[in-house]
Structure 1
């Protein structure tokens, strides 16, 4: 069963704090939690953290036949699952509404935005292409799992390497990593998701990267997926609270700054990991 809603004193305390631009964890209303990225030995495995929110993402690749309507493109599928250990909200074997929402948003942000060049996944036109499968496991829910899952997903793609392939006549030879160095994916851009939570009282300003309690007490949320080049991939608003156009534009500017910071952070962590592996950056 779902836990009871926050108590009335708890709700009043949080609302009163938000009216004074205070948050329970000490952040400013437009401060995000510092993200963390940890890489495993296998390429394409990433653990991402936003505070106590934890997500693991990993990418797998296999050779398959492309669909007849897109013979020159590889295939990308995205799957997410929220473990019952993440929160008492979630039950095993029963997809929650949030799980479905995260999967759909990741599909829009990472696949439909053409972040990964699908044509580069083609090996033999109409015969052999790479099928990439991104799986996102949500391990702990301390609020804003979507942003954390999106960051983990794009970094997993960036971190992944596919085997070197050689085509000789009709024969397709897949070389092991010991024979030839794996090849990074062709990535056009790196989209990041930035979420704001809104509250019923106009005196309560929107908060960036809401905690679990703020998320439960909010009357609406807006998630903006964009890259460091200011290109918006997805803008989704949930909830009935009205937002003026000027406010939306202001929040987009804030999201751009966040995306640029995340882009620099991701590149730095990837370089550190590749340096520790002594892999030549191709």
Structure 2
């Protein structure tokens, strides 16, 4: 098996056989059926552009920030999307401190490809002064605990953080009209990003000699999987990206089946993200109303 596929946690022969025997009966060691996702919990921080996602035992935090930079020479009217990942040894003993490992780089690229290739974020709206200044949106993904399927959890954390991020409003002034004025939030309301759709990454693992298909693999299932396929799709069924990472070959029929399942999962996860966002807005509105009432009483 390709070394990129599996984590470094080695199972015993009996543990491996137990996983494969359970799958033969369409059961998994955590009680799920092969095509069932673990429970997803999405939370938002107090600051704009922060999120926290729990997918079973997997725990990922996302943070979005922005700064004004010079644009790329070949895209002078577009802002930038930059993704960085941090894998702490406390999340998994197999993660090495220091420079990002191969898996960390791969995770960042998969999330980046889903967002960039599908043009989910309107990067042209991030242009402040053509050829001179654009907003660079940075997404930092911190792996807090690795319980398997980091890609899906990190992708959800990135999407949730993007939806809550707001950048300062900018205007042009000065004698020549080329001076960029960045307005503080007290002066002008910050602006949310223009997000056209949510590209959701869905990971499938192939286990056992017969290549049994499971969705949302756990840490132990990743240690014995013979192959993996990640399909990034949105709630409309559009395929934003697809990646088959090493391992055994997968027939076309299996790929088509995965894409169909991914579309259904994407609809469900998109609803969860939007529901969590709506709940967060309502909570913020209630908190603001309470503070206003207290101020009036004082």
Partner SS state of residue 264, structure 1:
helix
1:147–1:195: 8 Å Cα contact kept in structure 2? yes
TM-superposed CA distance for 1:167, in Å, is 1.7
Name the counterpart of 1:144: 149
Q: Over the residues paired in the alignment, what is the CA RMSD in angstroms?
A: 1.6
Question: Which of residues 184, 190, 194 is equivalent to 1:176?
Answer: 184
For 2:73 and 2:250, locate their aligned partners in 1 and report how far apart those are by CA, in whole Å. Answer: 44
For 1:140 and 1:63, locate their aligned partners in 2 and report how far apart those are by CA, in whole Å. Answer: 33
CA offsets 1:33-68 (integer angstroms, 9 cap, x no match): 111111111100101110110111111111112122
For 2:91 and 2:194, locate their aligned partners in 1 and report how far apart those are by CA, in whole Å. Answer: 33
1:21–1:205: 8 Å Cα contact kept in structure 2? no
Partner SS state of residue 62, structure 1:
strand
In structure 2, the CA distance between the partners of 1:257 and 1:269, relative to structure 1 (3 Å rule), is same
Name the counterpart of 1:5: 10
Name the counterpart of 2:80: 75
Question: Which of residues 245, 250, 254 is equivalent to 1:247?
Answer: 254
Alignment of 1:230-241 (within 5 A): 230-241=237-248
Name the counterpart of 1:212: 219
Partner SS state of residue 85, structure 1:
coil
TM-superposed CA distance for 1:220, in Å, is 0.4
1:57–1:153: 8 Å Cα contact kept in structure 2? yes
Verify: 1:44 aligned to 2:52, yes or no. no
2:27–2:33: 8 Å Cα contact kept in structure 1? yes
Verify: 1:61 aligned to 2:66, yes or no. yes
Q: TM-score, normalised by structure 2?
A: 0.89
Runs of 4+ in 1 over 6 A off after TM superposition: none
CA offsets 1:235-257 (integer angstroms, 9 cap, x no match): 11123323221221112111101
Structure 1: runs of 5+ lacking an equivalent: none
- Greater Rg over alpha carbons, structure: 2
For 2:9 and 2:134, locate their aligned partners in 1 and report how far apart those are by CA, in whole Å. Answer: 49
Partner SS state of residue 259, structure 2:
helix
Paired residues, number: 278
CA offsets 1:151-194 (integer angstroms, 9 cap, x no match): 11111111111111122222222111122211110112110000
**Higher deviation after alignment, 124-133 or 138-147:** 124-133
CA offsets 1:66-89 (integer angstroms, 9 cap, x no match): 122211111111111111111111
For 1:185 and 1:110, locate their aligned partners in 2 and report how far apart those are by CA, in whole Å. Answer: 13
Question: Which of residues 118, 125, 138 is equivalent to 1:120?
Answer: 125
2:9–2:223: 8 Å Cα contact kept in structure 1? no
Q: TM-score, normalised by structure 1?
A: 0.94
Verify: 1:32 aligned to 2:37, yes or no. yes
